[in-house]
Structure 1
Amino acid sequence: MAGTFITFEGPDGAGKTSVLAALMPKLQAHLAKPVRLTREPGGAKLSEAIRELILDPANTEMDARTEALLYAASRRQHLAEVIRPALEAGEVVICDRFVDSSVAYQGAGRQIGEDAVLAMNQFATEGLTPVRTLYLDVPSQVGLARIEAHRQDRQYDRLDRESIAFHQRVRGAYLRLAEREPERIVTIDATKPLAQVVSDCLGTLHTVLSASWLA
């Protein structure tokens, strides 16, 4: 495909939303190609409806495998309706979460198996893999403290309410993924001030997108 697929990952409280909000205008100013920001779960009408089911705190009875399947279904629709057409049109697609999130949150966090969740999502995505993934890393205690401090300013969903042990399993899975795929996954220290994190991300993206970077 003519476009470039890049994803952002991180545990809860890593600051992905703030980083992407600051980063996107810079990318749009520096790139000759169109840049599209999208998110998971969500990004398309049907996928957003599934997002509401997954994250609704009222859905306490949701089985872990049901949750994993819903994420994969949302991802499939998002890919078919938004991501793949944009890549075929030559756009740079920046996605807030992708398959790595399911491996970390459902595979490790819910303890249903990282390999099993990866296989499910390989089917859903037909093997589409980002050319680069920026993983914003924070210790679990730091991320949860940030969530609590900004609880009134953000959605407080089912995953935010999980135990520290759950979030530590999620982070552990992310670190294993980064160790296993160092050419794809770039780890960014997200405990630094926002401006520094944005600068570090921009430097990584410049390397990936140098052919499209305006002088």
Structure 2
Amino acid sequence: MIDPTTLDFDKGGGLIPAIVQDADTLQVLTLAYMDRAALDETVQSGEATFFSRSRGGRWRKGETSGNRLSVVSITPDCDGDALVLAVRPMGPACHLGTTSCFGEADAPGLGRIARLERTIAERASADPESSWTAKLLAQGPKRASQKVGEEGVETALAGAAGPDEELASEAADLIYHLLVLLRSRHLSFQAVLDVLASRERPAKQPQ
């Protein structure tokens, strides 16, 4: 995952700051510190382990609360003296019970798309009689496609003649049903973003 010998632990007195970020929503969850032993344990276990400056020793996030952080990737900065940990949290990252240690907001901006995707995935195993999402997924891609078509028309009509609030509401319904359709086809929204990225063209340089 990462070569510890490329990192500069000496600059921080044996510790390296680690920015912890949700791998899906990209929300910054917390800032912690690692010594070499904590980094080694993180790599071996696949769960974020830090060095607590207040406790004076190693601690694995979620040891008592169960709110562990499953590590997806570890990326050093250009100087090798700081890290970004992309994780998938198993509960709130903050000891106060919030998603992030930086305020109470949950997955701001486009991170809401990834949060909604995660919720849809969780609802897939719910009772179809009590969950609209589970019911749609149980009915398969054709039904989800039908709903996308219906919501697309309603969004277009709202965009042509409706007030702003109606357009925003219909667009939200469209995005939700699109994510359900993607889930029913075993695709993620990242596949859509990858296509958009492939279509980008570099700006023309002035003559």
- TM-score of the superposed pair, with normalisation by structure 1: 0.24
Structure number with higher strand proportion: 2
Asked which structure has the greater CA Rg, the reply is 2
Structure number with higher helix proportion: 1
